Structure 1
Amino acid sequence: MFFFSGCFPSFTSIMQESIRVNPSMVTKLRATFLKLASALDLPLLRINQANSPDLLSVSQFYSGELVTYVRKVLQIIPESMFTSLAKIIKLQIHAIMEVPTRLDKDKLKDYAQLGARYEVAKLTHAISIFTEGILMMKTTLVGIIKVDPKQLLEDGIRKELVRRVAYALHKGLIFNPKAKTSELMPKLKEMAATMDGFYRSFEYIQDYVSIYGLKIWQEEVSRIINYNVEQECNSFLRTKVGTLL
């Protein structure tokens, strides 16, 4: 396992930076991952020659480690996507006004906000380029495990979404015990605006990244809330409730 625990982590940041600058680099890294997979043949050679029943379990272990490393390298794509998404959220909350269903012609220019909308379009294009990069990788057999780039992208997006939403909730829902009750509503309204920004932005980009954005949003937000409810319950229960995350 020296490849993953010793030598290759030093190249991880280099590969991730290459992907961040040029998302199409993923297609070239596919060859690197396949080379790594072929390197797994050596430790399995003797096991195979001995007709050992452990061949399958050892193959699964090494292949699993390699897939974990591939996920680690490619996680830079969801991270970069969410960096751009954070800027979209900021624009959606603070800059862009929601267009009402009925609008007077003389107010059309006020709601156009061409500069802000151009910035959103530019950030959306950047996100779609990252998505295109990973989807160009095509289905790859890593050892004995088949890696589907679309599933890899969705898993990465789910992981990053959970991390960012959980952090936003944690940061936004910390209250000072000595604070006045009048401070509660402003904090909750601010939290609601943040969550609404996440929701609207995720809804906005779902067509550009070929995912069911709202389905993922509902599943992961429900999971975060259920997990935290379980953690609160565990402090009062003798038999602990199993964790979801």
Structure 2
Amino acid sequence: MRQRAPAVLVRGPRARRRAALARALWGGAEAALTLGVVLSLLVVHQLWWTNRQAREGARREVAALERRWDAAEPGASSGGGSATGPRAGPEGGADGGGTSRAEGGTERPRGAGRSAAPAPGRAYAVLRIPRLGLAVPIAEGVGRRGVLNKGYAGHYPRSAPPGGVGNFALAGHRNAHGEPFRHLDRLRPGDTVRVDTAEARYTYAVERTLPRTSPGDGTVLAAVPYSSTHPGHRFTRPGHYLTLTTCTPAFSSRYRLVVWGTLRAAAPR
């Protein structure tokens, strides 16, 4: 009996196109799945892991600062340097010891804010906001890598020191990297903001909030702060101001949210 030769399957142009399309779709599906996994891991890293790392680091730094202050001799400088000598106080006199008047007639330690400036990136104070349950280090500078990404509040270098005459201005992340200013929009007039240093404890009261302004609205950091973009938001006389800034809306850096406060009380540690 003669055996039949096996049939040879010959694909036409249409079948070949279908096979090529199927391979392309399969490859695209694999690439999309891989990309989705990678993006998911990036989101987890950005929104969870960086927060966990920064918060733990910030807590350790707050504890380390407080241990150093408790162990230090009275009168130790918060900036790690010696005092720079007499300096004009809020009434125009020299800070030479004792107390002076802050906003609203509050007694204020003389010599407050006169320490040599801390080194860039160095934590030297603690910011506490009871309404937000927040306690984070304050470091010199507003660089991302050296300060903000550690979960710290960053001190604008050309602004006043804690408790000093002028505007003590801070920046902080709203999302990721500890996001210390995540709920800054929850602050209301009268809420307290405390700044602890090696020398003194300063209590500010929130006065007003600028919900949204442009990143270029630099006058919010002026010694007597105001908004050049929103003229209705301004202070008009010298004082002891606090400014807190962060990005807004959440998960965006398009605008800036600004909270202003004034010094209400100060006491030596």
**TM-score of the alignment, normalized to the shorter chain, above 0.5:** no
Q: Larger C-alpha radius of gyration, 1 or 2? A: 2
Higher RCO (Cα < 8 Å, 6 or more apart): 1
Judging by fraction of residues, say which structure has more helix: 1
Give the TM-score, by structure 2 length: 0.27
Judging by fraction of residues, say which structure has more strand: 2
Give the TM-score, by structure 1 length: 0.29
